Amino acid sequence: MLKFSRLPIAILALTIATPVLAQTATSPSAASPATPAKPPMTADAPRSGAAVDINTATAAELKSLPGMTEADATKLIQARPYRDVNELVSKKVVPETEFARIKDRITVHPKS
């Protein structure tokens, strides 16, 4: 019986598995099916100099704020709606030091 080297089999396994793993990594997660899908950022999306509305911003837009992490963006989204930007501190969504860094870059537009 032929003996197969482990290296070619491992390379073959990786060649087959890589596209599957890549597809899994790039597909949208099913972690939050209750939230509606947000459109991707376009040219109309806020730039780094524009104020970000914390009631409507996507996680990606929130993470563009200085010091904002994925966990912070998730907490901020879960604590919506906001009537005032100062509610980020009063609801204990972000610490005061982080709020001081982002307060000039965020806004709250009233829900119409």
Can you list the domains of the chain with their CATH numbers? Answer: 52-107 (1.10.150.320)
pLDDT at site 90: 93
What pTM was estimated for this model as a whole? 0.54
pLDDT at site 12: 64
CA distance 37 to 100: 30
CA distance 44 to 49: 13
Q: What mean pLDDT do residues 10-21 have? A: 69
- The model's pLDDT over 32-71, given as tens digits with 9 standing for 90+, comes to 455 455 444 433 444 456 899 999 999 999 999 999 999 9
Which 8-state DSSP code applies to residue 69?
Answer: -
Q: What mean pLDDT do residues 77-82 have? A: 93
pLDDT at site 40: 44
pLDDT at site 92: 92
Neighbours of 76 (CB within 10 A): 22
pLDDT at position 7 over 90: no
pLDDT at site 25: 56
Which 8-state DSSP code applies to residue 82?
Answer: -
Q: What is the mean pLDDT of the chain?
A: 76
